[in-house]
A and B are shown apart, each in its own frame.
Chain A
Amino acid sequence: MSKRNILIVLFVGILLALIAACSSATPEVITIVETKEVEVIKTVEVEKEVKVYETVEVEKEVKVYETVEVEKEGSVQEVKLVARCKASPPYENGRCDNLVKAVGAVNAELAANGDNRRVALEAIQDDASWGDYKTEFELASDAGEAPDIIVSGHEHIGDWATAGFLYDITNEVGKYPEFADVIDSLWTATKLNGSIWGVPQDAEARPMYYSKPLLRQLGWSDEDINNLSDRVASGDFTFQDMLDTAAEAVAKGVVEPGDGWWHRPSNGPDFLYYYYGAGGEVVDPNGSNALVFDKTAALKVYSMLYDAAQVRDIIRPNKLDGDWDFHKEYTSKFDKVLFVFEGTWRWASWHTNYLQDVGGEDYLWENVGFAPIPANEEGTDAPITLTHPLVYMISSQSKNPDLALLLISKATTKELNTDYAVASGHLGVLKSQADYPPYKTAKFLSATLPLLQYTTFLPNSPYWSSYSEAYYLGIQAVESGDLTPEEAVDVVVDQLQNELGDNIIIQ
């Protein structure tokens, strides 16, 4: 046998062996409950009243029993829907999985209403980057191949509704009783120009986490540590206090230089609450579609970050390096970084992925506290956080938007949403969840729910992406030391005016 043939046989052998060997592996079993209607020909007894006239002396009533064939219902028409979700597996899989689980309820309701349509759902769910995910939906919409349902951040309503990619559900929402249960304030995030473009899928808060052991090393008593959350909530412990504490931890060697306080390593909604906290506004109070950039508030933010990164060694000058894996692992144990600004969903990610060998979630409860983002005493002087609900949106290209919305309504139940919330560390979106035992007994969700009273939202505006990029450019520039805060404001103003023209108001 030639060398070539030996190699071929070897490869084919390995491949077959692998396939054979893998047959013993245990694949994940997903149980999908679906209600199917089966056509039957039924023989029933019909009680029929018949008048029989006979030539008799007495007219009498006779009951006649007949065997008749009942006409079967019209043939069932299967309607295929496609849902597209981005989720961090396994804890966020509920985004699309809940839609899959709702198919049974949808078909049952259709059958009960005598509607001969039945939904078959194709759920496409992966962990693509947000940028790729958005591009995919936009290209698909341009090509006329958009999925019926897409789950994404509410701020995309600004772009997508304006571009005509979304289906306006304003007049439909009232027809589905499930939507009456959605927390009223969350609908704000789904509106643009007075219309509703999506249904809230999840909510969250973005707290300040703090390390109890590191505060202890800094000389804080247990009482001080336990009171910190209340002090932040009351405005007694401010953003400036947090930076001072972090600077002290660096100076005393409790943490390494640059590890006093960490924020996210890339652009995202979080940075907007710095600006809100400094007194900035984004939406034009006069009601125009233009966005507002407040130079004074921005300068406060940039000065604070410049000071933290370039002067006081509180945060690393290269913190915005985009390295999420390192960020998540390095912050997970709270033995290196004193204060971390993160989302509530990170709680689940930390204990599931990084802390299993040290006690999982119990480790976090023992060593980590959380509070709203402290008040900026030079700005609004009020604690703050930001909620960035993801929303189910229906494509304007969907041929069956009513079925898509019915499916979303059946996925918007306290049972399904609580399963998702508990698994993912996101907050519930329904009023009834507050009294729903499985939600109430989820310790972390109950503890973080009060954070929503400090919440703010991103604006739904087609200009938000450009605005966000420009504002973030300034943050990068001051943290890396490339620009002073004043220079950064000028650069950002230039960029905003270049990009947005009349759609930006500089104050």
Chain B
Amino acid sequence: MTPTTFETEQTYGLRKSLSRAIPYILLTISILPIIIGYAWIFIATFSVRTEGLIPKDAHGNIGGLTLQNWSFLHNPEVWNATLNSFGIAVGMVVGVGFLSSLTGYALARMNFAGRKGFLGTTLLLHAFRPEMLLIAIFQVLLFIGGIPLIGDWVGFNTVGGVALVMITLDLPLGVWLMKGFFDNLSWDMERAALIDGASRFRVWWEIILPQIKPGLAALSIFTFITGWNAYLIPFTFTIGSKVANLPVLLNRFSGDTSLGSWNEVAALGLFQLVPILVFFIFTQEALLNIYGGGSKGGA
């Protein structure tokens, strides 16, 4: 092996490494502002104040690290709002997941009158912005609120009512997403089960659903995040702090006429982010399966 050849291979290797590295470098540069933003949030939550990314004390000297910004954890309102956010998000995951998978299955596998029209209408519903529907939704919630027993749980100014509205608004996306997954499944196992005498519901529950776990996981993540970060609907249809969720509380922290304690707001924002990250960690494997080759028995 001559030195020249060795040098050529080395250069080739270097060039290859460089060409591999370039996308990462570009990616890093492009997301740097976001990373700096998150870094600032993290540092700010533990600082009296910050100048850029440098924590400073009240006299402007470097330092001033504190946990005071997290003192809102003593505030029962925060925990109540966390519980409400959790209620809305979990309600959405269960409601949207259950209804979308049932509807998606029916639309993908069954032939019934009005199927096409239903699909088209569903898509049309998704085109409406929630802002356009606020007054109509308010009237519906008032009506539901007047129904004995049910009204106390899913009427105006209840977590159930907010969850119900959020589920309704998210259903079109869920139904179409689920229908897409069902369309990609093979008929073979399903036919075999039906021939063996299984009911439609049993087929759906025992044969089909296990095959679309990645789809359910994806839908769960999207709906959980939507429910957890919901602002407009909870803000409009709840009163006071008892039924407020975290984003509504976060908005109140910043105030209209008063100076916001931005470091405290950042801490509450970070606090709000933690469950999303935990939820993502638990579901990421299932989620990534969507991009990694689909599900077993797929067409």
Contacts and interface: CB of A to CB of B under 8 A. Distances in A.
Contacts of A15: 274
B239 A145 contact: yes
B75 to A, nearest CB: 8
B252 A128 contact: yes
Interface centre among B73, B251, B277, by most A CB within 10 Å?
B73
A22 B257 contact: no
A11 B278 contact: yes
Interface stretch (B63-71, B101-109, B181-189): B63-71
Contacts of B141: 143
A353 interface: yes
Contacts of B73: 18-19, 22
Contacts of B68: 25
A172 interface: no
Contact of B236 (A86, A139, A324): A139
Interface string B231-267: 0000111011100000000011001111100000000
B129 interface: no
A41 interface: no
B contacts with A: majority SS: helix
A124 B240 contact: yes
Interface residues of B, number: 33
B97 interface: no
B259 A353 contact: yes
Contacts of A69: none
A84 B238 CA distance: 13
A89 interface: yes
A88 B67 contact: no
Nearest to B72: A22
A7 interface: yes
B268 to A, nearest CB: 12
A21 interface: yes
Interface string A120-160: 00001011111010011001101111010000000000000
Interface string B69-92: 011011100000000000000000
Contacts of A136: 239
A18 B252 contact: no
Given A88-B257, A145-B239, A126 B252 contact: yes
Contacts of A358: none
A84 B240 contact: yes
Interface string A1-39: 000100110010001001101101101000000000000
A4 B67 contact: no
Given A88-B255, A127-B257, A18 B67 contact: yes
A13 B235 CA distance: 32
Contact of A22 (B74, B237, B252): B74
Contact of A18 (B70, B156, B281): B70
B274 A25 contact: no
Nearest to B254: A127
Contacts, number: 84
B252 A127 contact: yes
A24 B67 CA distance: 9
Nearest to B142: A143
A132 B231 CA distance: 13
B157 A143 contact: yes
Nearest to A352: B259
- What class of interface size applies to chain A in its complex with B? 35 or more
Interface centre among B71, B75, B145, B237, by most A CB within 10 Å?
B71
B74 A128 contact: no
A127 B67 CA distance: 24
Contact of A8 (B138, B236, B258, B281): B281
B138 A142 contact: yes
B145 A143 contact: yes
Interface centre among B70, B75, B258, B281, by most A CB within 10 Å?
B258
Contact of B255 (A24, A127, A142): A127
Given A22-B71, A88-B255, A127-B255, A140 B157 contact: yes
Contacts of B236: 135, 139
B247 to A, nearest CB: 14
A127 B138 contact: no
Given A4-B281, A15-B274, A142-B138, A21 B67 contact: yes
Nearest to B45: A18
Contacts of B256: 86, 88, 127-130
B138 A11 contact: no
A22 B75 CA distance: 11
Nearest to B251: A128
B278 A8 contact: yes
Contacts of A11: 274, 277-278
Interface string A70-91: 0000000000001010101100
Contacts of B75: 27
A88 B258 contact: yes
Contacts of B258: 88-89, 127
A331 to B, nearest CB: 14
Given A21-B70, A22-B71, A89-B258, A145 B156 contact: yes
A433 to B, nearest CB: 25
B138 A7 contact: no
Nearest to A130: B256
B274 A145 contact: no
Nearest to B267: A18
A88 B254 CA distance: 11
A128 B241 CA distance: 12
Given A11-B277, A139-B236, A124 B67 contact: no
B157 A145 contact: yes
A196 B185 CA distance: 70
A4 B259 CA distance: 40
Contacts of A325: 259
Contact of A7 (B70, B157, B281): B281
A306 B259 CA distance: 32
B281 A25 contact: no
Contacts of A8: 278, 281
A15 B79 CA distance: 13
Contacts of A19: 73
A231 B101 CA distance: 78
Contacts of B235: 132
A264 to B, nearest CB: 12
A288 to B, nearest CB: 31
Given A22-B70, A88-B256, A88-B257, 17 more contacts: A11-B277, A18-B67, A18-B73, A22-B67, A22-B71, A25-B71, A25-B74, A84-B240, A124-B239, A126-B241, A128-B251, A135-B236, A139-B237, A139-B239, A140-B157, A143-B145, A324-B257
The 8 closest A-B pairs by CB, nearest first: A127-B255, A124-B240, A143-B156, A25-B71, A88-B257, A129-B256, A88-B258, A126-B252
30 contacts: A7-B281, A11-B274, A11-B277, A11-B278, A15-B274, A18-B73, A19-B73, A21-B70, A22-B67, A24-B67, A25-B67, A84-B239, A86-B256, A88-B258, A124-B240, A127-B255, A128-B251, A128-B252, A128-B256, A130-B256, A132-B235, A136-B239, A139-B237, A140-B239, A143-B145, A143-B155, A145-B157, A147-B239, A147-B240, A324-B257
Interface of A: 4, 7-8, 11, 15, 18-19, 21-22, 24-25, 27, 82, 84, 86, 88-89, 124, 126-130, 132, 135-136, 139-140, 142-145, 147, 324-325, 353
